[in-house]
Structures are given as C-alpha cells and as structure tokens.
C-alpha cells in the first residue's frame, strides 16, 4: 500500500497494488487495510492480465510478456465500482484481488476534525495570544517558559526513550522538538509520545492553572487537538507551542529596556537569561520582601539546574556579579532594588 498525504488540505491518496513476479502466484488470503478519514472517491481500479497472449521469446532482443490492461472507468467516481473490494467504515476489505490488481482512492478529514482544525486556527493567532499574555509580567513568564525541576518542586516532563526535558515550561518542549528537527525524523520519542496521548499538553496546562486566562485558552486549544488523528498531533502541537513560545518571548522583550527592545536577535536572546534565572521559588524566597502573605518573593538563581533551590539558590557573590547584566541592562530596576535591599 502506498499513501500520499497533503500536509495543507490533509487529503490523502491510497494506492493498493498486488504485484507478482511469477504467473503461478496465487494468494487466497487478503489482509484488511485501515485508512484515516472519510472516503471521498475511487480514483481508479484496474487489472493487468498476462494470460491472454502466450510468451514468445525474441531471438535477438530481451523481451517480456505483453500485458492486457483492464481499466473499467477513466474518471474518479464517488463510490466503489468493482468487486475487487468493499468498504466497511475506515477499512478496505479485499475480496477478489489477483496478482496485477491495482486500486486507488482518496480520503479527507472527517467534518468533526475539520471543525476542530478551523477552531484551532481561530484560537492560535498572534493577536489572541498577545491578548492572553498582556497582563503577565517577567516573573510570570519565567514560570510559563522555563523553571528547572528543582525550582518547580518536581521533576521536568520525561519523554520515554529520550529522557527528561531541560525545563518544565514551554521552552523545554521547544528544545526537545528541536532535536527532532535536527534528526529530521517523525519517529522521534517526543512525536511518539504525542501520538500515544496528550499527557504533555495536560501537564503543560495544569502547571499554569494559576493564570486563569492563559489556562482557559490552553485548555480550549488542547480540546481541539484531542480531536485530531494521532499522526497529525506532533505537527499541530509543535505549530501551536512554537507560536505561544515566540509570543511569550516578544512579551518579555517588550517589558525590558529600550536597549533590549531595539537590539538584535543575539541581544534579545541574552536578555532572556534574565527571565530564565529570576523567579519565585518556594524553597528560596526573600521572605521579608513579601508583599502578600504566603507568596514567595522572586530571587536570582546561582545556576540551573543546580543551585536553583533552597539555600544553594541565592548567593550574594553570584547575585551581584550578574546583577548588572541580568537586571540593570534589561531595565528591571525594581527587581534589582529588591535584591540589593535583601542583602543590605
């Protein structure tokens, strides 16, 4: 069976061929074939016969058998026309399929998946994501994008046959996807994980439940993705998370200094280290700067993933070495003041 899939329209063409390398081949067992989507039309059906004209060897040339081609119809038809096969749901059951037989048909996404796809495109727009992120600050973006396992208080997401992600946040997923792109394969463990289930998406949205607007939007997106065929999930999860990631980065840059906002891509990438390293961690708060009861104040990590939590997180030497580059150059003066006051 040969399958060709259109990545834009998600229409597919299936071609079933029964080849034979000997005229004596007889096959009484015909397997069932499953296809995804809804049957659209029979493109062609045919049979090559070689038993009508006897073989005559040419004394001077290497010659073959002259075949006879039976081609019942020359145009696609929206129904099955031949006794070679019949359809039962999304299964092709072969009945009379001798050597030399060929069948071609096309499929499309079911209407329920098409509606989910359309809704997904409506939800995942730059404008919609910007609206969702507009009330979030740089500390919030630290949690959304990054967070080592020690900062989160639990391990990062584990992908079977690959390992733990670098971050609990979206950046960890993007980095994992990048390894799949580098390997140029759809058999990457992350792709297989998404085909098997949507646990990664549930993990991502559940850990961000403290942001109601973002959480609600993510849940709606994930509901759409749950209706997609499993083989489509890696593509669309990557598409959605990539857009969310880039909008989070843009939001972070917009909250920084003019130097960062007008800088080149390298400058902005360096500035994102400020978001990576500065966040609120329950095991290492600057408690006397708390403005709300029970809410830990942000602190600067001495390093990731080690030196990220507890008494090993906040060191005066490391904090003040990095204070200018991470806090002052990026325009985070209030956060810098809190850090300086904490050590005063």
- For 177-230, give the secondary structure using H, E and C: HHHHHHHCCCCCHHHHHHHHCCHHHHHHHHCCCCCHHHHHHHHHHHHHHCCCCH
Residue 289 is predicted with a pLDDT of 52
Residue 26 is predicted with a pLDDT of 62
For the record, the structure tokens of 293 come out as: 């009861």
Domain count, the chain: 2
Same domain (yes/no): 278, 331: yes
Residue 294 is predicted with a pLDDT of 53
pLDDT in tens, 225-244: 999 999 999 999 999 999 99
pLDDT in tens, 143-178: 999 999 999 988 899 999 999 999 999 999 999 999
* 237 close to 225: Cβ distance less than 8 angstroms: yes
Examine the fold and report which residue of 61, 85, 108 is the final residue of a domain before the chain moves on. Answer: 108
**Rounded percentage of the chain residues whose pLDDT exceeds 90:** 60
Same domain (yes/no): 240, 337: yes
Residue 25 is predicted with a pLDDT of 62
Same domain (yes/no): 253, 296: yes
Question: What residues form DSSP beta bridges with 133?
Answer: none
Cβ–Cβ contacts within 10 Å for residue 115, how many? 13
Same domain (yes/no): 201, 319: yes
Same domain (yes/no): 84, 172: no
Q: For residue 295, give every residue at least 6 positions away whose Cβ sits within 8 Å of its Cβ, in sequence order, or none.
A: 280
pTM over 0.75, yes/no:
yes
Same domain (yes/no): 79, 186: no
Residue 342 is predicted with a pLDDT of 83
Same domain (yes/no): 116, 186: yes
Residue 40 is predicted with a pLDDT of 93
Examine the fold and report which residue of 61, 86, 108 is the final residue of a domain before the chain moves on. Answer: 108
Residue 150 is predicted with a pLDDT of 92
Same domain (yes/no): 163, 222: yes
Residue 47 is predicted with a pLDDT of 87
Same domain (yes/no): 192, 337: yes
d(CA 236, CA 252): 24
Same domain (yes/no): 48, 119: no
Examine the fold and report which residue of 40, 75, 108 is the final residue of a domain before the chain moves on. Answer: 108
Residue 171 is predicted with a pLDDT of 98
Dihedral sign for Cα 298, 300, 304, 310, please: negative
Which regions in the chain score pLDDT beneath 50? none
* 101 close to 47: Cβ distance less than 8 angstroms: yes
Q: Which residue range(s) make up the domain with 216?
A: 112-343
Same domain (yes/no): 173, 57: no
Same domain (yes/no): 190, 268: yes
């Amino acid at each position: 069976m040969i399958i060709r899939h259109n990545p834009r329209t998600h229409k597919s063409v299936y071609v079933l061929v029964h080849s034979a390398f000997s005229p004596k081949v007889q096959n009484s067992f015909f397997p069932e074939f499953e296809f995804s989507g809804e049957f659209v039309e029979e493109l062609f059906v045919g049979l090559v016969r070689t038993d009508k004209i006897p073989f005559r060897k040419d004394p001077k040339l290497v010659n073959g058998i002259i075949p006879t081609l039976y081609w019942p119809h020359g145009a696609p038809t929206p129904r099955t026309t031949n006794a070679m096969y019949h359809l039962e749901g999304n299964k092709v059951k072969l009945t009379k399929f001798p050597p030399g037989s060929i069948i071609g048909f096309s499929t499309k996404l079911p209407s329920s998946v098409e509606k989910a796809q359309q809704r997904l495109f409506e939800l995942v727009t730059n404008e919609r994501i910007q609206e969702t992120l507009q009330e979030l600050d740089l500390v919030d973006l630290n949690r959304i994008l990054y967070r080592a396992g020690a900062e989160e208080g639990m391990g990062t997401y584990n992908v079977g046959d690959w390992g733990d992600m670098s971050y609990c946040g979206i950046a960890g997923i993007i980095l994992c996807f990048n390894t799949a792109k580098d390997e140029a394969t759809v058999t990457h463990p992350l792709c297989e994980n998404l085909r098997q289930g949507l646990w990664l998406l549930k993990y991502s949205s559940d850990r961000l439940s403290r942001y109601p607007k973002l959480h609600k939007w993510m849940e709606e997106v994930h509901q759409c993705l749950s209706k997609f065929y499993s083989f489509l999930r890696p593509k669309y999860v990557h598409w959605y998370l990539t857009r969310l990631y880039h909008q989070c980065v843009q939001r972070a840059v917009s909250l920084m200094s003019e130097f960062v906002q007008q800088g080149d891509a390298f400058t902005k990438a360096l500035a994102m280290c400020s978001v990576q390293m500065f966040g609120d961690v329950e095991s290492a708060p600057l408690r006397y700067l708390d403005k709300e009861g029970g809410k830990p104040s942000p602190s600067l990590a001495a390093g990731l993933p080690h030196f990220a939590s507890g008494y090993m997180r906040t060191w005066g030497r490391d904090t003040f070495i990095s204070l200018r580059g991470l806090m002052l150059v990026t325009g985070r003066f209030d956060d810098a003041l809190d850090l300086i006051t904490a050590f005063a």
